[in-house]
Amino acid sequence: MDETHQWNELAAQLGVDSIRCSTAAGSGHPTSSLSAAHLVAVLFSDHLRFDVDDPKDLGNDRFVLSKGHASPLLYSVLKAIGALSDEELMSFRRFGSPVQGHPAPVPDMPWVDVATGSLGQGLPIGLGMALAMRLDGLPGRAWVLMGDSEVIEGSVWETMANASYHQVRNLVAILDMNRLGQRGPTMLEWDGDRYAARAEAFGWRAIQIDGHDVDAIDRAYTEASDGNGPTFIVARTEKGHGVSFLANAEGWHGKSLDEEQAKQAIEELGGERSITITPPKPEHAGLPVEAATASVTLPIYEGDIATRKAFGETLAALAARPDVVVLDGEVANSTHTEDFQKAAPDRFFEMFIGEQGMLGATVGLQALGRAAFAATFGAFVTRAYDFIRMAAISRANLRLCGSHAGVSIGEDGPSQMALEDLAMMRAVHGSTVLYPADGNATAALVGQMADLGGISYLRTTREKTPKLYAADERFPIGGSKVVRTSDQDRATIVGAGVTLFEGLKAADQLAGEGVNVRVIDAYSVKPLDAATLRQALEDTGLLIVVEDHWIEGGLGDAVLEAVAARGAELSGRVIKLAVTEMPGSGKAEELRDWAGISAQKIARAVRSALAR
Amino acid sequence: MDETHQWNELAAQLGVDSIRCSTAAGSGHPTSSLSAAHLVAVLFSDHLRFDVDDPKDLGNDRFVLSKGHASPLLYSVLKAIGALSDEELMSFRRFGSPVQGHPAPVPDMPWVDVATGSLGQGLPIGLGMALAMRLDGLPGRAWVLMGDSEVIEGSVWETMANASYHQVRNLVAILDMNRLGQRGPTMLEWDGDRYAARAEAFGWRAIQIDGHDVDAIDRAYTEASDGNGPTFIVARTEKGHGVSFLANAEGWHGKSLDEEQAKQAIEELGGERSITITPPKPEHAGLPVEAATASVTLPIYEGDIATRKAFGETLAALAARPDVVVLDGEVANSTHTEDFQKAAPDRFFEMFIGEQGMLGATVGLQALGRAAFAATFGAFVTRAYDFIRMAAISRANLRLCGSHAGVSIGEDGPSQMALEDLAMMRAVHGSTVLYPADGNATAALVGQMADLGGISYLRTTREKTPKLYAADERFPIGGSKVVRTSDQDRATIVGAGVTLFEGLKAADQLAGEGVNVRVIDAYSVKPLDAATLRQALEDTGLLIVVEDHWIEGGLGDAVLEAVAARGAELSGRVIKLAVTEMPGSGKAEELRDWAGISAQKIARAVRSALAR
């Protein structure tokens, strides 16, 4: 059959090019590319509806190479569809080249939507893409090529469960079951029945094929496109297929061939070719449209409210923007994303208690132009840290919220207390970390998050806090508020969220003793308002930074960084008050006092410092 | 049947006591306790082999309340077996009480082995316990009570896969399928067939029962104890069972009853009782024995070696200690734990690519006295951050290793680069963070980790580094090494790992220009040698801290913290050189130079700072 021959020829070319570019680089994963060459050849030739000249058009299908180490294969097919020149392909893994070791959506790589390379993330992302397509009423499909080692990752199974629950028909997982992982056989080797049984138990349709039989692949893809998915294609393959000394051989993971080996392998594969293909054209649907924030009326607070509740209500206001979507990890009545759900149920996604899957889906939704928020307890955001790290490499715009910050949650105890979230989120490239104290600050910051690039994180508080700011107060990202000051400030208390109120109470106490103290609300933990903090240190000689967080990596360290920034000559004193011992249960006030971050303890620290 | 009656009576008592203590506390999860009261009553009466007076004896079965929010039930049964008095029970959730909101192994709570409260962690921990029992040749079982919402968590499925792969016969999961999660119906509600199918597809035996039928429960436990596990018991239950206004009712999650409601509920349950039971006695096996480090001969390095390789070889040396076990996430040929595997194959556990499951199993192994190490790429340690956070609450002794630190891994690109691991691990309570530069430092530090309490983390480097230290050099935790100094040091370069060598090269360059620079190896990032760093700042007036890590939260912030500690008067300058832009692929040297952490860039920074 002619088509069969063409597919096989293309697959051979992809294999050859994978070897060529990795040999030129001196590293890479040619054998992991060879196993999936037929799968990719048939997909890009006849099933993936994709316009190489308009890769961001929403009408395209999406392809996610979850086994990102098989990047030579991806770049080789991008060459075959005319996206990359051979010269660009051969720049694989070179410094400055967009043809990176693992795929990443860098500026000159518009055909890649998300970064991969941390396994088990492609399928969660694919689910988000499939959900976005459904929301847009578009006929696209999300195709995810997975390796077999990564199927152990729990994030895969969170997504398997959620995809069938959400009845996502346009998601196709293609499992490149090549039997060999990095260091030897995978857990299930070639037990396709077992993979299929697992997929079926999770509510997916499973199709088992020989992953080197292009006609079988074509039939499987056709079936997977019939709208009865989600579909899990188990493709039995050989790692290093088509090359005598590589096929199904151990010890070849992540190794490029030397020149001599490459020459022989390319000869076995029939030599170099220069086939070009054009994937099926999608119906164009245009680029994602940014919705206008102007249409949103943010809530106004006159009394006490928990910032988590203000977050939910602001989300509900943002529901007026059709691009906003919200995901939650089965705690929407705690994070208060349920307010958004009520306002826009079709744009709310219950992802149940599987934070990694939730984050991956959020990345997929934003990749297709959605302004995506995701929320859970701040303590459980830790669970998705690898996804957040990878999202930064994906240049994703993510809006995250972690509720129930610090010991201030009280009786539930340390398992539910976010005490490392600021440290974790500060160490995300290009992140914005926000920690509002009252309802109006929360509304203003969440409103801005909707339009913010990069990864932003909002830390919210469980208990109600008093109104501090007028509704028209502005809260620029990177700003701060000097909420109390005088001509004779002898110290500065820096707080955020709950500790700001403790700081104010401490300032009251101290004022009663004749000690004037400046109080600063560092609601923007990153970027931090370094100028105001440096000025405060210069003016008062003493900063007391108070946070409901471990003493490492949070607001205190951020303030020290700001003070020392650009090699500034240091002077004055900076004292960090934060949680240093493992908390238990108790009332919020008891625990804050125990931790040394209550008004009493702050005042005592100021007194003690001034007495020295 | 008399037994039936006794079990039901005990279950009613556990329900009553769960209500009593949560009502007294004014918070807690009585309805989540009621659903599992029969399951727990039968388990503790007749199946859990457990000596209440000797809870740490290795002969005991282990019970893990994975649904930690049902803590009232746990404390109620601890009262029934005589571990807690009623007064202690009624101190539930009070400040200072060991009867915390979620179970934690605090000093006065020896019957709890691990902290729970972050869902999906109990089963991974149970697997580790089951593996420990098998290693010890003991007949114990690990019983894990799970909620149904937590079954979405991917960590559960990592463990489901691993438990059957490792043929663990003594692990029993009990699913309290009460249909209702925190905010409404769970994903699968009462679809027991679906749960059973999933468990069976993952290689477990599944048993479906009515979770309020004590005889059925008894039969299921008997079957689960026959040595043919792992066994997954799907128990259909009602949340709030036994109380008319709570049973299967929405809106009651995590809410305590008020006095009036409690009175009515207790009446419906037949009032208070004072039943005491004695669980079946185990054969005593003694306490875990700490092995002597003395018997270990650490490796000695005379030439270049990658610290990751030195880590593996030191682990292999530690294999002489029978208490040492090692787990890896299918990258043992990269982390080099394979060297340990060769030395002690029965004490090496391949956990495949599922980092959460790996960490959980590590926690379980250490809970039964094993000196447990776990390793993967530093980048992927992020995946298990929630488990590490919870392990700190568990007061676990964990030894973690993250390999492939920083941009220095080169061509693989940012997905494989650990750039936030120091920030993440510093913000773990009581953690120790180590980053050796050469082989002998690595051997010395890994040797100490085997005896170290708390959570320790070793950061290793992909590429080889030169020998810097003699084999008999000592590396105390919390220490540092001044590797170059003179009488006229005009600045101090602080490095660790790869950046130490860049710093030394920079010092060479500067010395050639007549500028003497001190160089400090901060191999102990936490605790940091604050005295030496403060002295260096005092002596030289300028610290240049260089790290292959994001600029937030790592060594630079640790140094600033040390400099500012205890409100010290600041003086001098601290300049942080670290990664501030998203890297791509390239050679290690290219990327270090691009990031501004190469010898050239360090020397330039010193020159520039001194010229100011």
Residue B243, pLDDT > 80, answer: yes
Using one digit for the tens of pLDDT, what is the confidence trace for A556-574? 999 999 999 989 999 999 9
Residues 6+ apart with CB under 8 A from B600: B506, B509, B593
Backbone angles phi, psi at B605, to 5 degrees: -65, -40
Report residue B289's pLDDT band, with 50, 70 and 90 as the boundaries.
Answer: confident
**Least CA distance to B587: which residue of chain A?**
A95
Cα torsion through B522, B525, B531, B536, rounded to 10: 40
CA–CA distances in Å: residue B152 to residues A351, B170, B186, B199: 9, 23, 9, 13
**Cα of B418 vs its chain's centroid, Å:** 19
- pLDDT (average), residues B280-296: 85
Integer Cα distance of B446 and A314 in angstroms: 50
The CA distance from B470 to the nearest CA of chain A, in Å, is: 33
A427, B554: Cβ pair inside 8 Å? yes
The CA distance from A165 to the nearest CA of chain B, in Å, is: 7
Q: Which of B354, B557, B582 sits opposite A154 (nearest CB)?
A: B354
The CA distance from B20 to the nearest CA of chain A, in Å, is: 16
**Of these residues, A355, A420, A502, A547, which one is catalytic?**
A355
Residues of chain A neighbouring B430 (CB-CB closer than 8 A): 582
A415, B155: Cβ pair inside 8 Å? no
**Least CA distance to B27: which residue of chain A?**
A411
- pLDDT (average), residues A194-201: 98
Share of chain A above pLDDT 90, in %: 98
**Of these residues, B158, B355, B502, B547, which one is catalytic?**
B355
Rounded mean pLDDT of chain A?
97
- pLDDT (average), residues A331-348: 98
The CA distance from A4 to the nearest CA of chain B, in Å, is: 34
How confident is the model at residue A32, as a pLDDT? 98
The CA distance from B472 to the nearest CA of chain A, in Å, is: 33
Give the least confident one: A305-314, B5-14, B290-299: B290-299
User: How many residue contacts between A and B have a Cβ separation below 8 Å?
Assistant: 368
Residue B198, pLDDT > 90, answer: yes
Other C-beta atoms closer than 10 Å to the C-beta of A27 total 16
How confident is the model at residue A289, as a pLDDT? 80
Q: Which of B356, B571, B585 sits opposite A95 (nearest CB)?
A: B585
Residues of chain A neighbouring B180 (CB-CB closer than 8 A): none
- pLDDT (average), residues B402-428: 98
Residues of chain B neighbouring A116 (CB-CB closer than 8 A): 415
Residue B293, pLDDT > 70, answer: no
How confident is the model at residue A290, as a pLDDT? 73
Residue B560, pLDDT > 60, answer: yes
B101, A412: Cβ pair inside 8 Å? yes
How confident is the model at residue A294, as a pLDDT? 67
**Least CA distance to B253: which residue of chain A?**
A333
Task: Give the CA radius of gyration of chain B.
Answer: 27
Using one digit for the tens of pLDDT, what is the confidence trace for B277-286? 999 999 999 9
Q: Which of A26, A426, A591 sits opposite B552 (nearest CB)?
A: A426
Burial of A276 from C-beta contacts in 10 A (0-12 / 13-18 / 19+): exposed
- Is the ipTM reported for this complex over the cut 0.95? yes
Q: Position A235: which residue type?
A: A
Using one digit for the tens of pLDDT, what is the confidence trace for A451-480? 999 999 999 999 999 999 999 999 999 999
Q: Determine whether B3 is an active site residue.
A: no
Using one digit for the tens of pLDDT, what is the confidence trace for A340-369? 999 999 999 999 999 999 999 999 999 999
State the residue for tokens 């007294």: B24
Report residue A1's pLDDT band, with 50, 70 and 90 as the boundaries.
Answer: low
Q: Which of A187, A412, A526 sits opposite B161 (nearest CB)?
A: A187
- pLDDT (average), residues B454-475: 97
Report residue A291's pLDDT band, with 50, 70 and 90 as the boundaries.
Answer: confident
Residues of chain B neighbouring A153 (CB-CB closer than 8 A): 154, 158, 353-354
- pLDDT (average), residues B334-358: 98
Q: Is A464 helix (H, G, I), strand (E, B) or coil?
A: strand
How confident is the model at residue A293, as a pLDDT? 66
Using one digit for the tens of pLDDT, what is the confidence trace for B128-183? 999 999 999 999 999 999 999 999 999 999 999 999 999 999 999 999 999 999 99
Residues 6+ apart with CB under 8 A from B191: none
- pLDDT (average), residues B578-604: 98
3-state helix, strand, coil in chain A (%, to 5): 40, 15, 40
- pLDDT (average), residues B554-570: 95
For the whole model, what pTM was predicted? 0.98
Using one digit for the tens of pLDDT, what is the confidence trace for A385-424? 999 999 999 999 999 999 999 999 999 999 999 999 999 9
- pLDDT (average), residues A12-19: 98
How confident is the model at residue B294, as a pLDDT? 67
Using one digit for the tens of pLDDT, what is the confidence trace for A497-553? 999 999 999 999 999 999 999 999 999 999 999 999 999 999 999 999 999 999 999
**Least CA distance to B196: which residue of chain A?**
A201
Q: Which of B157, B526, B560 sits opposite A157 (nearest CB)?
A: B157
Using one digit for the tens of pLDDT, what is the confidence trace for A67-116? 999 999 999 999 999 999 999 999 999 999 999 999 999 999 999 999 99
Residues of chain A neighbouring B530 (CB-CB closer than 8 A): none
- pLDDT (average), residues A279-300: 88
**Least CA distance to B420: which residue of chain A?**
A427
Q: Position B100: which residue type?
A: Q
B117, A412: Cβ pair inside 8 Å? yes
How confident is the model at residue B165, as a pLDDT? 98
Integer Cα distance of B245 and B247 in angstroms: 6
Residues of chain B neighbouring A402 (CB-CB closer than 8 A): none
**Least CA distance to A553: which residue of chain B?**
B553
Residue A440, pLDDT > 60, answer: yes
Annotate B55-116 with DSSP letters as a single string. TT-TTS-EEEESSGGGHHHHHHHHHHTTSS-HHHHTTTT-TT-SS-SS----TT-TT--S--
The H or E element spanning position B20 is helix B2-25
**Cα of A280 vs its chain's centroid, Å:** 30
Which pairs count as long-range contacts for A245-253, CB under 8 Å and 24+ apart, including other chains?
Answer: A246/A30, A246/A31, A246/A34, A248/A179, A248/A180, A249/A31, A250/A180, A250/A184, A252/A31, A253/A29, A253/A31, A253/A32, A253/A180, A253/A181, A253/A182, A253/A183
Please state whether beta strands A305-306 and A464-465 pair in parallel, antiparallel, or not at all (unpaired): antiparallel
The CA distance from A144 to the nearest CA of chain B, in Å, is: 18
